[in-house]
Structure 1
Amino acid sequence: MAEDLQIAQGDKTAQYTSLIPQIKGLLEGEPDLVANLANVAAALKEQFNWFWVGFYVVKASELVLGPFQGPVACTRIRKGKGVCGTSWEQATTLIVPDVAAFPGHIACSSLSQSEIVVPLIRNGIVQAVLDVDSEHLAHFDETDKKYLEEIVALINI
């Protein structure tokens, strides 16, 4: 697929349903994990203009910063720490409407107000997490969860 993203208008569902086939096209035939994570992060950032979109990859006993779009970020996160580490530990998607109210939240940026973290699970093991931050409170919902989980499932790792 050409690396030309068509930005969709409309409600959140319409935007995701337009974006998913484009992401499939970007991933198709590309075996390199870093390239694929980078393109997924860029496509999501372009479509939704979120504050921060990126991946943390499991390496040994911690999450290590991977491809992302947005301001500089925390480089390493331990299992069970912050939203990302908790999502990894629980192997579940976490929607946090107010990061200040999340116990143990790691404030990589004081501008981040809400967050969703989606684990990338293969063979029952979390391999990475997709982390998305917004500068608005309660920005993410079940619609985001549904479609971001679908997008993460497309990534070969």
Structure 2
Amino acid sequence: MNQQLDALLYQETNVITNLANASALINDTYEDLNWSGFYLYNYKTGELDLGPFQGKVACMHIKVGSGVVGTAYKDQSIHRVANVHEFPGHIACDSASNSEIVVPITKDGKKIGVLDIDSPSLDRFTEDNEVELAEFVKILASHMEN
């Protein structure tokens, strides 16, 4: 999947275009998902705004430090949550989501946002998924303009 992403985004620097295709690639590659997409940090509002995604309608704004998405962004660390209903302050944008993985996106030290993936199954995401998605985000960031 990561080699495919790198080839797919070759010579394309438009952030929205790249994020749209990246979310589609995840959605096509991984099974048992109900949402895959991005939240981007808005430096004017200090919140994370909904970006390109695949899935049902989603929360449009998430405060830094709120829910899995906001916490992963604040901590700048991957959060792999086996049961989101047990995560303190979980934001239920889709009540069908039961597990989640969120990977922060940075480029040249600048915090851009996060990759967020949800599943209706409990404990859907593995350590191998975490490693693969961390590399996915690095490749994606390399195709973004500063």
Common fold: TM-score over 0.5: yes
Question: In the TM superposition, what are the counterparts of 1:15-26 in structure 2 within 5 Å?
Answer: 19-26=1-8
Aligned to 2:139: 154
Task: Output the CA distance in 1 between the equivalents of 2:19 and 2:5.
Answer: 11
Aligned to 2:67: 82
Task: Output the CA distance in 2 between the equivalents of 1:83 and 1:126.
Answer: 16
Aligned to 1:108: 93
Between the two proteins, what is the percent identity of the paired residues?
Answer: 42
The reply on whether 1:35 has 2:17 as its aligned counterpart is yes
For the pair shown, which has the larger CA radius of gyration, 1 or 2? 1
Kindly provide the CA deviation profile for residues 60-88 of structure 1, in whole angstroms up to 9, marking residues without a partner as x: 20100000000000000000000000000
Q: Could you say what secondary structure the match of 1:154 adopts? A: helix
Kindly provide the CA deviation profile for residues 11-53 of structure 1, in whole angstroms up to 9, marking residues without a partner as x: xxxxxxxx22111111110010000000010001011141100
Task: Output the CA distance in 1 between the equivalents of 2:134 and 2:2.
Answer: 11
Higher relative contact order (CA 8 A, sep 6+): 2
TM norm structure 2: 0.92
The reply on whether 1:96 has 2:96 as its aligned counterpart is no
The RMSD of aligned alpha carbons is 0.9
Aligned to 1:58: 41
Aligned pair count?
Answer: 139
Question: In the TM superposition, what are the counterparts of 1:107-146 in structure 2 within 5 Å?
Answer: 107-146=92-131
> Which residue identity does 1:38 align to in structure 2?
A
Displaced runs of 4 or more, over 4 A:
none
TM norm structure 1: 0.86
The reply on whether 1:72 has 2:57 as its aligned counterpart is yes
> Which residue identity does 2:52 align to in structure 1?
P
Task: Output the CA distance in 2 between the equivalents of 1:149 and 1:64.
Answer: 21
- Tell me which moved more, 143-152 or 122-131: 122-131
